[in-house]
Structure 1
Amino acid sequence: MSYAVRAEGLVKRYGDTLALDGVDLAVRPGETVALLGPHGAGKTTVLRVLAGLDLPDAGSAAVCGHDVVREGARVRELVTATGWPWGGGAARVDGVRGDPTWSGPDGEEGVARLLGNSPVLLLDEPDTGLDQRARRTVREVLRRLASEGTAVLFTTQQPGEADGLADRVAVLDGGRVVADGTPEELKRRTGDPSLRVRPSLTGDGAAVDRILTELTGAAPTHDHHTGLLSVPATDPMLLAALVRRLERAGIGTEEVGLRQPDLEDVLAAMTGRPAR
């Protein structure tokens, strides 16, 4: 299989800091991949190495079959990147931030011209600082470019930015890829759906706890800050049963539902950092 981007065992140090600790990554033509992780996970360093701006200390990387170390000049001709202007094919998305003219069809054409027609886009947190209209414009352009065969690799700290745009998500933490898969695959790996209830009255918490335990056979967790109770639940019919039990008990709720895991849960599970 031919890859637009391929990295194997990438290691990069900056002084005493180990920024990359054996990163493996592959992006096919026409695929959009998100590098998702907390600040300091190594996301930007991956892009800088792939763009030929920083040399790896170990491992290998290639863009469209060209080695980033031996053929750095050619790599920079093939890549459009945001954030680090070096001339040639480099681009910056900073110009769209806060500029309402980047919305609508004309804005899409402007962003497309800014990003160019390179076979590989390396975008460092492209949504940061954009208003909602500009964000939609950039996303539409990225989807269109990917459908035409452009490989898109972007970084983000925000799970919501990866969900819905990325075909695949690579979760980075401590300079390593700790999970890689489609958004849905990663969500399924994270855990079961959960029944969630936030009673209107704090005093009803104990009664809700008993009802959830009786329905599921598991003790719910309590978020004492928000008043939310949740318990794993694989049977979707439990939601209707829960609603009936709450009604019979006369318990009002601010929130009740069956929640599927999302990429925030994935990030929390894979990195040990709070999801929200």
Structure 2
Amino acid sequence: MATRTRRSQRRTEALSRERIVEAAVELLDTVGESGLTFRALTERLATGTGAIYWHVANKDELLGAATEAVVGAALAVEPVAPTTPAAPADSPPDEIRAVALGLFEAIDDHPWLATQLATQLSRSPWGSVTPRIFDSIGRRVRALGVPEDGWFTATSALVHYVLGAAGQNAANSRADGPPKDRAEFLDDVATAWEELDPDDYPFARAVAGQLRDHDDREQFLAGLDLVLAGITALHPPSKPTHPPHTP
């Protein structure tokens, strides 16, 4: 009995929380949230449920840990190349673009992530994920020169744009029904818009061609630049003051 207990303890120690979360992310990516069960997890990890419960109390905790792991990796990104040759490398706007693009690509790669982030924001904003995203973007907002009384509003605008646009993009690419090639899907939508009544939908008809040809990533970054431009226009960075020159 003592020998079996020691072996069980060694197996539990070898099965780390990190490995469990990694396996949970793999399951979420392949079979979705409904397929993430402790039974499926034990089969993937070739272990017993007790070893998993040693590290994770329930499915909600597991989903939260998986979300935190993916978001943490997404935020550990390199700055996006400056949009203009004159822009300095690693400037706050470029760092914000890097953070935003990291989240955009993470949500695109992990179909379940958008729903989990929305849940985290609305139901448990005191958890680790929401403040981590706000802090990552907010520190760059502060570096833009935004005054302190505008930090929360400016950061909230960026966070909601990034998560909303990325979530909508992911939803569009995984709509219900048979999977379609992206170009075919956009062509179908654009064609439908072009056939709308010109009196009722003049704008939708006018931009149908742009819808057909647009690039999701480029459009996302262009929208982000619009938000950043609005923030910097409302809160232009203060110019440094220099002492008067004395001969």
Could you say which structure has the higher strand fraction? 1
Same fold (TM over 0.5): no
TM-score by length of structure 2 reads 0.25
Specify which structure has the bigger relative contact order, considering alpha-carbon pairs within 8 angstroms and separated by 6 or more residues.
1
Q: Which structure has the highest helix share of the two?
A: 2
